[in-house]
Amino acid sequence: MLLIAAWALLVGGFGALAAFGLQKLIGLVTNLVFYQRVSGALVAPGQHHHPWWLVLTAPVAGGLVIGLMARYGSEKIRGHGMPEAIEAILTGGSRVAPKVAVLKPVSAAISIGTGGPFGAEGPIIMTGGAIGSMLAQALRLTADERKTLLVSGAAAGMAATFNSPVAAVLLAVELLLFEWRPRSFVPVVASVSVATVVRGLLMGNGPVFPVSTAALHLNGGITGLAAVVGLTGGVLAVVATWLVYRAEDAFAKLPFHWMWWPAIGGAVIGVGGLVEPRALGVGYDVIDQLLTGRATTSLIIGILVVKTLIWSLSLGSGTSGGVLAPVFMIGGALGALEGSLLPQVMPGFWAMIGLAAVVGGVMRSPLTGAVFTLELTHAWPTALPLLASSTAAYALSALVLKRSVLTEKIARRGLHLTREYSTDPLETFFAAEVMRRTPRTLAADQPLDAALLDALLDEAVTGRGDRLLPVTGADGTLVGTATRPELLALGRRPAGPATVRQVVVTVHPGDTLRDVAYRFAEHGITSAPVVEPTAAGAGRLVGVITVSDLLHARLHDLTEEHHRQRLIPAPAAAADPDGPSDTGRVDADALGGLGHVTAAGAGLSG
């Protein structure tokens, strides 16, 4: 862990430099295309009037360039970056090609700089991830260690882009790591810390969208209304996600190569830009107006309708660009529109609530949605309503949609992905609780007589009994193992000692079932003797554990999830001396009669 954390410090520094470079590159392309000047300052395309033909054709030209880069450079630059990073972790052993580190930010800068309504965070996640992955590939590391450095780079880029270290770490945990363990969490935090410090040196330490809370007045009613706004944000998140993948389905039916799809998406962007020019580009200036309460009603409605449509439809074309900044703008516009009908709390308050809601609903990351908004604005007193809003949107999205805008694309590529975190039931049981305590054993000097062979043959035919037969000495210590097939192969020979194998793998009673499962997988076995260490050093046999015994933990988990029971009896039942009494044992007959669970949850027998 400490070694990977040390390497993550280096990844964090380079991730911050990559984020800084991407912002400058986006500013350069935007200035060249829309203002015909050379500058790296981040500007919005719609701040001034542009000829209609430029607004219409610039996104199309950008889409053509991206299509060519994707076809002849790397197809991995298509999309908004996060699904590609997740796929690299799940199926690619956390390996990212070096050219992706170059092509992804360049393609994103072209897409956004020519008017694409996207954000820089998705590309920087892929770029930062590529930096971490390339370093990991140059070292002698495991796939899990490569994953940690990849995610460290991705989180570093995110933290440097928005000056949001905590949200970046939460995003890494909720979307990329698929675990919360010290071995990965500590390096990611180390990387994000360095990236945030470097970001402060390059771009300042202040919030990206500072909001004053001097006029803030909160109460329980406001928090309740925030949850209601969260539900509407969840609806918008569902609609936007649906639009993205309906657009992707429509593009897939086109009778020509996908290389041309981003250009068609660019045409959609251009038409939307003619209707509402402020919907083009990253839109940080518009987000700032929404969060500070300075946006006009026409701008709010224009952003809510036009930005949602052109972002969803063009993203489905496979162009390059991120989802967070557009979601910030769309959510902020929704909240600002609803805020005109809700009690005044402070300027931009309801826009903040809408922003957190749509992030929580679209990304299925409620903690990230709330914390991101806090770090973007530094409006710390609004934490509770932001959390209520983000969680309400998350709940509605989870109930209505099977997958998020990120995981749906992965599922369409034939991968199953779950982002529900829970304790592994294999870690809550010990071998002693599920092992078979009275297995058939053979004495070290026991002759193989006809009766024993007949019994073994009968067990083999009927499927009863253990496949593994421990061989014990006179004092009960384990001296070897044999299997029924091995003994049956000896045939009906005259009496004589059984030839046994030396024990290779044993299990201790205090080993968790997860340890046992890993041991089975490592050695390619399905059963093992359970031994209790003795003072003499030899192990005393106490049982046998098999793969089927591991299912007891899963049954316990299934029982706790689905079996309902009344633990405090109703008054009438309590007064009835002949009524049933609760013995503390949970019957699992409702699950097929496979077993029962003890009240303490410590053991389960079949």
Q: pLDDT digit string (tens) for 547-578? A: 888 888 778 777 777 777 776 776 765 555 55
The number of distinct structural domains making up the chain is 3
Mean pLDDT on 324-329 = 87
Residue 394 lies in a domain: yes
Q: Are residues 140 and 161 in the same domain?
A: yes
292 in a structural domain: yes
Confidence of residue 597 (pLDDT cuts 50, 70, 90): very low
Kindly state whether residue 581 falls inside one of the protein's structural domains.
no
pLDDT reported for residue 65: 92
State how far the alpha carbon of 596 is from the alpha carbons of 201, 397, 589, 590, in Å. Answer: 61, 35, 8, 10
* pLDDT at residue 227 greater than cutoff 90: yes
pLDDT at residue 581, rounded to an integer:
45
Least trusted range by pLDDT, from 69-78, 268-277, 306-315, 595-604: 595-604
Which candidate, 396, 437, 533, 527, places its Cα nearest to that of 478?
533
Calculate mean pLDDT across residues 28-42: 90
Q: What is the average pLDDT across 255-272?
A: 91
Least confident residue range of 35-44, 137-146, 406-415, 534-543: 406-415
**pLDDT beyond 80 at 487:** no
- Model pLDDT for residues 4-25, shown as the tens digit of each residue: 999 999 999 999 999 999 889 9
- Indicate whether 173 and 299 sit together in one domain: no
Q: What is the pLDDT of residue 181?
A: 84
Contact 334, 358 (CB under 8 A): yes
For residues 467-477, average pLDDT: 74
Q: 84 lies in a domain?
A: yes
Domain assignment present for 594: no
| b (16+ CB within 10 A) / e for 318-350 | bbbbbbbbbbbbbbbbbbbbbbeebeebbbbbb
Question: DSSP states of 411-426 as a string?
Answer: HHTT----------GG
Task: Write the CATH number for 494.
Answer: 3.10.580.10
Name the more confident of 457 and 177: 177
Please tell me whether residues 431 and 476 are part of one structural domain: yes
pLDDT at 442 over 50: yes
Residue 583 lies in a domain: no
- Higher-confidence residue of 454 and 569: namely 569
Q: 362-387: per-residue pLDDT in tens?
A: 888 888 889 999 999 999 999 999 99
Q: Do 237 and 229 touch, CB atoms closer than 8 A?
A: no
Q: Phi, psi (5° rounding) for residue 234?
A: -65, -40
Whether the per-residue pLDDT at 71 is higher than 50: the answer is yes
Residue 128 has a CB neighbour count (10 Å cut-off) of 39
**Dist. CA 357–CA 509, nearest whole Å:** 48
Token duo for residue 158: 């995110």
What are the distances in angstroms from CA 206 to CA 212, 293, 375, 386?
Answer: 13, 19, 10, 21
Q: Indicate if 407 and 433 belong to the same structural domain.
A: no
| pLDDT (0 to 100) of residue 489 | 65
Residues 174, 226, single domain; the answer is: no
Average the pLDDT over each of 274-278, 291-295, 414-418, 443-447 and give the range with the smallest value: 414-418
| pLDDT at residue 58, rounded to an integer | 93
Q: Do 166 and 56 fall within a single domain? A: yes
One domain, residues 24 and 121: yes
> Could you tell me what percent of the chain has a pLDDT over 70?
80
- Report pLDDT digits (tens) over 168-207: 998 888 778 877 888 889 999 999 999 999 999 998 888 8
- State pLDDT tens for residues 75-104: 877 766 666 667 666 666 677 777 877 888
Question: Do 101 and 152 fall into the same domain?
Answer: yes
**pLDDT beyond 70 at 34:** yes
- Contact between 152 and 133 under an 8 Å Cβ cutoff? The reply is no
Say if residue 325's pLDDT is above 90: no
**Whether residues 448 and 541 fall in one domain:** yes
Q: How far apart are CA 469 and CA 179, in angstroms?
A: 38
Residues 114 and 189 in one domain: yes
How large is the average pLDDT for residues 40-47? 82
The pLDDT mean for the chain works out to 81
3-state class of 604 per DSSP?
A: strand
Let me know whether 21 and 163 are in one domain: yes
Q: What is the average pLDDT across 141-146?
A: 86
Cross-strand bridge partners of residue 587: 596
The last residue of one of the domains, among 364, 380, 412, is 412
pLDDT of 587 reads: 41
User: Higher model confidence: residue 412 or residue 345?
Assistant: 345
Residue 309: inside a domain, yes or no?
A: yes
Is 231 domain-assigned? yes
> Do 508 and 403 share a domain, yes or no?
no
**Is the CB of residue 123 less than 8 Å from the CB of residue 320?**
yes
Could you tell me the residue range of the domain that residue 52 belongs to?
A: 2-203
pLDDT of residue 324: 81
Single pTM value for the model:
0.77
8 A C-beta contact, residue 133 and residue 88: yes
The residue behind tokens 């970056």 is 81
